[in-house]
Structure 1
């Protein structure tokens, strides 16, 4: 029996990731419970299990009294003659451990002991799963689309199921059962029925973690992701910075012939990704963030967290982007409220002098005009902020 028990413990430890000590504690507690059910009490009963051989013994610690007639409770007391059969040095008032025969336990007591062990195993298994996925909180994992629960989706992560709620799904993505997808773990809660894992496909950090996986320079700290702004399923802007002057941050993220970024785009089902250089100078950062639009001048106010941007007339729609997307993402990426004006609009503004906004060296050429497909929009004089984005997302 000891060999069979040891083999069973080895299997549980490897497959369920449950520590042997926890299992031994469960066995000891179950035997104490069996004693209580068999004798009606267990205050003076203890169980010892050999961790190496799995042999176990049950003892009842009894007080020694002089005569057998003095024994008021056989479970708590033992006469001196019987005590000296166990310990020759026993004296009146001593506590003597008396072995109990666990084979005499009834069927109900045995069943209760079994239930205690199984309950402990389930608790330890849930705890092990919770700890495993709690360590991966705010990280990405690969799961398999399992089934639809209303508008939510159950994702199998291997040892546990996660829930992809409707508001964490990308509206342009269509998920199919048995499809493998990468998800970002938002939160791991420890419930009575096991860990509850909430995942996301829309969180900006999903893109960040994908870059960390694919780009070795980010893994070793040479390149840092300073900021990220995302409209799930459509476009992401990411600002990167290199701690090594010999390493191009944008080039490292793009990879040879776009190999690295293309892997991430494929994982995001074609979501466009703009990678720009981070700059401590807010004016330069805003100019980078509004790429691919050409900028005439930028005046940034760090105290107000606002910026005025002047672009050539023919670049205004490109700077704003389709439905204002380029400007919205730039505002999120930089944390600045951005007011974009064309040169004509700016010159018509009271008290405007373009010399106040640009250096003598700033120039632009009309033949540098870059077209972007589907980015022609109605010329607008709007200011795009993060609050505008939240409002538009709600309406959509």
Structure 2
């Protein structure tokens, strides 16, 4: 039914694709048996197929159980008939009887092709999962290969693995063109059973974190720690950093000489504004710094994870930001609900009363240690 070339081709696939010949053999045996039953049988009979690479043969067998009295001819054979095939058969044994299927060559060839393609596809999927299992949350370089109405498809690394950037992972305002070279954040590796899909992002906060790790040796070494990041891709990012070493200027390390380090990140982000904020274990002090570039007069805790921040009247719009962006990002960065009030509005609410406990209020006289630009001040 087959010639030696067929089995030689399986051996070549094992060498080229790393798929074991035995895996192909097992898959082909099952697929050929299934194809035969679908074509010729009702499905009641048990049919098995045996491939022998050494002899270059494919043989078909019906499988029946040897019984004293036959009740189901499709699945049972009398012991006397079984022993005509092989004398050693006993009651209860499975009896294999070879047969030659009529005109099965075309179906066999088609089935073999389908199985080989399926196994190649499964191997590619498994290789993708294996290669990228440790790449989740990492930064990778890629080349844009295809763009449809909504999605961007990229080629990752040297293995020509395809990554998918969904609309929500694209930066508003960024234009992607075929052959563009980008840095992307590996957001997830999904296995949906048929395909392995690497989801990448340009909009994730993790992208900013990884970019700073590349540019700032102190972050990579652990001397400076990124505590939290909040981001509205394409517009603004706030990043809270901290160092336990009093000798390390955490903000200065991230900014770099003449702003070289932060500017490299901003350039990769297409001009997105980045506020670098010194984290504080005092949540009220942290809130005041998070509202940078606005000057904060005071922060008062209202209840658990909720606070009122008071700013000068002429800095209210700066503290809130365009469409509430600055206050929104500060809230995400700190994990607190922040109500921003002007001094005049706060006075009417009488929130400047003396607190019973000193730690319940942050005095904004101390300047927040943040990196801010002239452009930020004017926003």
> TM over 0.5, yes or no?
yes
CA distance in 1, matches of 2:250, 2:169: 30
CA distance in 2, matches of 1:373, 1:169: 25
Q: Is the counterpart of residue 176 in structure 1 residue 177 in structure 2?
A: yes
Q: 1:333 — aligned with what?
A: 333
Answer whether contact 1:293 1:315 (CA < 8 A) is retained. yes
C-alpha offsets along residues 316-360 of structure 1, whole Å, 9 cap, x if unaligned?
Answer: 565455665433422332223132424xx2685364648769999
Q: Which runs of 5 or more residues in structure 1 are unaligned?
A: 67-71, 378-396
Q: 1:121 aligns with which of 119, 122, 145?
A: 119
Q: 1:107 — aligned with what?
A: 105
Answer whether contact 2:82 2:89 (CA < 8 A) is retained. no
Secondary structure of 1:275 counterpart: strand
Q: Which runs of 5 or more residues in structure 2 are unaligned?
A: none
Residue 116 of structure 1: how far off its partner (Å): 4.2
C-alpha offsets along residues 252-282 of structure 1, whole Å, 9 cap, x if unaligned?
Answer: 4445654543332222112121111221211
Provide the alpha-carbon RMSD of the alignment.
Answer: 4.7
CA distance in 2, matches of 1:329, 1:94: 73
C-alpha offsets along residues 104-161 of structure 1, whole Å, 9 cap, x if unaligned?
Answer: 9732242243144235325514642673567655555443333442354444443335
Secondary structure of 1:373 counterpart: helix
Q: 1:390 — aligned with what?
A: none
CA distance in 2, matches of 1:305, 1:137: 34
Q: Is the counterpart of residue 164 in structure 1 residue 169 in structure 2?
A: no
Report matched runs for 1:1-396 at 5 Å. Answer: 1=4, 2-13=7-18, 22-33=23-34, 36=37, 40=41, 43-47=46-50, 58=59, 60=61, 80=83, 83=86, 95=94, 106-121=104-119, 123-125=121-123, 127-128=125-126, 131=129, 136=135, 139-157=138-156, 158-165=160-167, 167-186=168-187, 194-195=195-196, 199-212=200-213, 214-215=215-216, 218=219, 223-242=224-243, 247-255=248-256, 258-303=259-304, 305-311=306-312, 318-321=318-321, 325-334=325-334, 335-342=336-343, 345=344, 348-349=347-348, 351=350, 353=352, 363=365, 372-373=374-375, 375-376=377-378
Answer whether contact 1:129 1:160 (CA < 8 A) is retained. no
C-alpha offsets along residues 237-261 of structure 1, whole Å, 9 cap, x if unaligned?
Answer: 0112335555554344445654543
Closer/same/farther in 2, CA of residues 351 and 121 from structure 1, 3 Å limit: closer
| TM-score normalized with structure 1 length | 0.67
Residue 98 of structure 1: how far off its partner (Å): 5.9
Closer/same/farther in 2, CA of residues 101 and 140 from structure 1, 3 Å limit: farther
Answer whether contact 2:163 2:198 (CA < 8 A) is retained. yes
Closer/same/farther in 2, CA of residues 141 and 94 from structure 1, 3 Å limit: same
Residue 168 of structure 1: how far off its partner (Å): 3.9
CA distance in 2, matches of 1:82, 1:316: 95
Answer whether contact 2:59 2:98 (CA < 8 A) is retained. yes
CA distance in 1, matches of 2:22, 2:223: 43
